[in-house]
Structure 1
Amino acid sequence: MSESTGSGRRGKLSILLIGGAAVVAGVSGYLVTLAVAQQAGLAAYSVFAVFWAVLYFIVGCLFGLQQEMTRAVSARTRALATAEVPGQPRVPVPKFVLLAAGIVGIAIAVSFPLWALPAFGASQLGLVLPLAVGAVACVAVASLSGVLSGLGLWADLALIVGLDGALRLAAVLSVLALGGDQTWLAWAVIAPFPITMGTVLVVARKRLALARYVDGTYRSLLWNSSRTMLAAAAMAAMVTGFPALLALFADGVDRAYFGALILAITLLRAPLLVPLTAFQSYLLVFFASREANIIRALVLFLTVVAIGTAVFAGMTALWGEQVFVWLFGVTVRQVSDLLVPLVFASGMIAGLFVTGPAVLSRDSHTAYTAGWVVAAVIAMGAVLMPWAIGDRVIAALVIGPAAGLFIHITAVVRTSAQRRDRLSRDVS
């Protein structure tokens, strides 16, 4: 078997493993949402959904740390494959993870008085403690995922993605069966983070020895991480944290209607965004290895996203309202006119999930961050408009991502043109 054939088979196996894990995670998330909404009711679900949104907004921010660890470990691995530069400064990965975890913990402890009360309400401030514990644990999970991605250990990364989702579903269902309250549900949601991390550390500890260090300094790694995390924060503001953002500007909106709207947003974006979230690190490494034909690869992935969005929108138009009413009752019929537009809005965000790794693979941290931040700022501006809340949601999730896509695609085209110019000068 030739090297190229073996590489191709490993690539296909990696896609299958990560895709399978993403399916497990996505189905688990769906079932958690269904179980809580059905057993607790839409009004109570809105409280759980806001906790989930705040937690996964933080998790989304920390995804930027995963992306930077992926880039740093991948770059060091490629450098070691040729020749390590003598005297190159390097950072111990475990110490950097502890530093990042401490920063996150302090940030939550200092800032929670500003956002916990409007987000959770006075009666649910007990949710802050599990939120903080989950966020600190997720620093380690995100860093470990980045290291595994940078080393190309896709089977171990798939184990993190799949095991985390399965454990969360089991924990939440157990709490619901025992009649636990919102606080117990919150602990059930965050418990899989440390369990999954410990399991994968044991399974992959020998393979992780290759990534004890990354090149650079604490300062450079923190600077790069801060930019990718800022971009990830903007990403999270439009994805997992979007319901929490809406909750801050939904005064006077009927709680049952608001719960139905959050439910529709959550469920209709998952088929597109859950798989792409799982593939972010894979896409980064994929685009980094295709410097010569990155535009062709980018167009291919964007075409797949567009086709998938169109198919899902058609299915939603035919059966979406009936399925939602069957699952959650007639209350959700209030948002039936938003179902298809929400699918197309999710497709726009999915496009950013493709262009983002392409830009970051070129070490264009500034353009990567700018695309996500501009998209989020425009989306937040739309949320503040004096329109019906459904119209604000659609405008936010279409116009914002469109601006981000323009910035990302322009950056990829520009860096590709610069590469061609450098090659031309080298040849001449």
Structure 2
Amino acid sequence: MRYLTLATIIAGLSGFVVIIIAAWALGSSGSVTEEFTAYWGLFFAGTGVLTGLTQETTRAVSAARSGVVAASTSAVRPIVFSLAAAAVTAVVLGATAPFWIGRLLSDHQGIGVGLLAVGLLAVGLGSYAVQATISGILSGCQLWKQYAALISLDTGIRMILAVVAWLLGYELLAFLVITVIGAVSWTVIVGFSRPAREALGSLTDVSARVFTRQALTAMAASGSTAVLITGFPTLVKLTNPDTTGQAVTAAAVIYAVTLTRAPLLVPLQQFQSAIIVRFVQGNRSPWAALAGPLAIIWAVGLLGSGLAWLIGPWLFDVILRQEIFSVPGGLLAALTLGATTTATLMVTGCATIAYDRHGLYLGGWVLATVVAVGILMGPWELATAAALALIFGPLVGLVVHLVALFGRGAPVVGLGRGCFLPECPGDECGQQHDG
């Protein structure tokens, strides 16, 4: 697990470095900075949707290998499913591009840049569909060294290229390429690691039909997750195109959201597969399994909120070097608290997937997203709306996950993973029982 810890450090550092360097390279123009962060947010919102493949593949492969549930005679190889998902992703993005590209990139960028941006996004996200599935396979097989290498390469290459682009004076186009380049990292890992290649033949614990349904459910839920996390800059630009006259600019809000959540959410995103495996293979109640991760999240979150209030504005001035990014300490503290509530929802979401409560997992994230978007479109200034949206949206969704884990029909220790009272029919359910 030390490899995964190192990979999360690299991932967290990379996210900081890329967006800070982008601010240095593009920050003299607030509009160009907003365009880059919106494109960055859209790409990672797409990867967020596809992360559902990682989560369900992790669960299905881990369960099949551990013998918690016998592998289905009609089981599917997730890698085959990922190829279809990759093709659909690329085609959908290309076909819908005329409806959204103009709202992300302004006319002065030129039609050539717009077409290239669409092509990069389609190919990048298509490739990431395969990468997300391979991540799930590696996690389910507990090939943590290869999984960590995949994360490190994906995020590290962006950091290195961002530094190079800045030193050479490159601008928006280079940073669009840098945004998507990590999505081909799976080709390197599969090419150089024999265990990774052998793991690609792994089967699921359920039939192809069930796996497809659960993967789509997980993708829908992780898409809602992405709106609140990586896709938030895009949402800000779409819902608040003009912040003229407001105390805090849209560019400042976007950077404040991104930088306050990166220390907590970026590492947690990389650990989600490990958390799901922990829940799948554990024999403890949901509360006992959740207590440790949630205690760490809230300890870090509350400490971070205090530090953000005290020294956050000074750090922004020192690091970003531009007046347009100035943000008050109270807003930074509130946004850090919003990152904490979102992290809580991510962990409870991992638990609901592990216990096969896919419907309520989706419901929690969808409700959180709807509430957050509703607040963001309210009558408040953008800074206030963003803070409220990122705090109260996840809290509302958390209620749904808590019902899934502790309400009627919740998982009960001793009956096997996936068994629920009072509906569990005993041996007919196909689960392993302790007594």
Same fold (TM over 0.5): yes
2:166 aligned partner: 176
Give the AA of the match of 1:135.
L
Give the AA of the match of 1:227.
T
Give the AA of the match of 1:90.
A
Equivalent of residue 190 in structure 1, options 180, 184, 189: 180
Q: Aligned with 1:262: secondary structure? A: helix
How far apart are 1:359 and its partner, in Å?
Answer: 0.7
Q: Does 1:103 align with 2:106?
A: no
1:265 aligned partner: 257
Equivalent of residue 31 in structure 1, options 10, 13, 17: 17
How far apart are 1:214 and its partner, in Å?
Answer: 2.2
2:335 aligned partner: 342
Counterpart CA distance in 1 for 2:188 and 2:106 is 35
Counterpart CA distance in 2 for 1:31 and 1:84 is 43
Gaps of 5+ in 2: 413-418, 427-432
Contact kept? 1:151, 1:211, Cα under 8 Å: no
1:201 aligned partner: 190
Runs of 4+ in 1 over 4 A off after TM superposition: 81-85, 417-428
1:7 aligned partner: none
CA distance 1:89–1:38, change in 2 (3 Å)? same
Contact kept? 1:316, 1:339, Cα under 8 Å: yes
Give the AA of the match of 2:129.
V
Counterpart CA distance in 2 for 1:334 and 1:303 is 29
TM-score under structure 2 length normalisation: 0.88
Equivalent of residue 152 in structure 2, options 142, 162, 169: 162
Counterpart CA distance in 2 for 1:191 and 1:287 is 33
Equivalent of residue 125 in structure 1, options 114, 129, 133: 114
1:278 aligned partner: 270
Q: Does 1:143 align with 2:138?
A: no
Gaps of 5+ in 1: 1-13
CA distance 1:222–1:422, change in 2 (3 Å)? closer
Q: Percent identity?
A: 28
Q: Does 1:302 align with 2:257?
A: no
Q: How does 1:215-226 map to 2 (within 5 A)?
A: 215=204, 216-226=206-216
Give the AA of the match of 1:160.
L
CA distance 1:357–1:172, change in 2 (3 Å)? same
Give the AA of the match of 1:264.
A
How far apart are 1:334 and its partner, in Å?
Answer: 4.4
Equivalent of residue 212 in structure 1, options 181, 197, 201: 201
How far apart are 1:427 and its partner, in Å?
Answer: 9.3
Contact kept? 1:325, 1:331, Cα under 8 Å: no
How far apart are 1:225 and its partner, in Å?
Answer: 1.2
TM-score under structure 1 length normalisation: 0.90
CA distance 1:181–1:65, change in 2 (3 Å)? same
Greater shift after overlay, 167-176 or 147-156? 167-176
Q: Aligned with 1:206: secondary structure? A: helix
Contact kept? 1:130, 1:187, Cα under 8 Å: yes
1:328 aligned partner: 320
Q: How does 1:2-151 map to 2 (within 5 A)?
A: 14=1, 16-41=2-27, 43=30, 44-79=32-67, 88-122=73-107, 123=109, 125-126=114-115, 127-151=117-141
Question: Paired residues, what number?
Answer: 410
Contact kept? 2:411, 2:421, Cα under 8 Å: yes
1:316 aligned partner: 308
How far apart are 1:188 and its partner, in Å?
Answer: 2.2
Counterpart CA distance in 1 for 2:69 and 2:265 is 36
Counterpart CA distance in 1 for 2:69 and 2:381 is 58
Contact kept? 2:138, 2:199, Cα under 8 Å: no
Contact kept? 2:25, 2:171, Cα under 8 Å: no
Residue-by-residue CA offset, 1:108-153 (whole Å, 9 max, x unaligned) = 1222222211122333523211111111111111011000011111
Q: Aligned with 2:240: secondary structure? A: coil
Contact kept? 2:139, 2:274, Cα under 8 Å: yes
Contact kept? 1:90, 1:214, Cα under 8 Å: yes
CA distance 1:300–1:38, change in 2 (3 Å)? same
Residue-by-residue CA offset, 1:197-234 (whole Å, 9 max, x unaligned) = 12210233335424514244443222111110000110
Residue-by-residue CA offset, 1:51-75 (whole Å, 9 max, x unaligned) = 1001000011000111111111112
How far apart are 1:420 and its partner, in Å?
Answer: 6.8
Counterpart CA distance in 2 for 1:218 and 1:174 is 44
Q: Does 1:416 align with 2:395?
A: no
